[in-house]
Amino acid sequence: MRAIPILACCAVLLGGCQSLLREGSADVAGIAGAALSDAVTDNGAVTAGIGLGVRSLAAAGLGYAERRAQRAEQDIIAKAAGQIEVGGVADWGIRQNLPIQPSRAGRVTVVREIDALGHACREIVFSVSSDVKEEPDRAYYTAAVCRNGSTWKWASAEPATERWGALQ
């Protein structure tokens, strides 16, 4: 029974391995839930049901945390793009507190402004680099950001990009 908290800690510390974190933490939570419910009841169906329920809750909680980390990254990129003119370049970066997503940084440039029907939007190109000391891996993406009151917000859906992994 002491191995379950150790496995859970190991799964959280391996934040760079997204699939292990996603599936491992849900599985460990399901096993822990089943083990706890087994102590309460001898009914195998109830034990399995509780284990599956706890696993689902853990997976949903991790998905929520991943979406929040994604939104925070998008908001920082949108804010950087909102502060420059067309053709300008700005740096952006985010340091994640939890190992769910890696800390990342990059540059953003505004390609064009789109003003239609009172909406102020911009098409941007941005780079994403992992937070590493040596030569970083860079990837480039396009997106749209729009002004929402006094702030700039992400306005692109990204279903076709591998950038967000299982969040597609």
Structure tokens at 158: 């990204």
Amino acid at 101: Q
Query: The pTM is what?
Result: 0.65
**pLDDT of the chain, 168 residues: tens digit per residue:** 444 444 344 444 444 444 444 555 555 555 665 566 556 666 767 666 777 777 777 778 887 888 888 888 999 999 999 999 999 999 999 887 777 777 888 999 999 998 878 789 999 999 988 655 555 667 888 999 999 888 999 988 765 455 555 554
Task: State how far the Cα of 164 lies from the Cα of 72, in Å rounded to an integer.
Answer: 13
Domain ranges of the chain: 3-67, 73-163
Task: State how far the Cα of 65 lies from the Cα of 52, in Å rounded to an integer.
Answer: 20
Q: Smallest Cα–Cα separation from 62: which of 33, 19, 22, 7?
A: 22
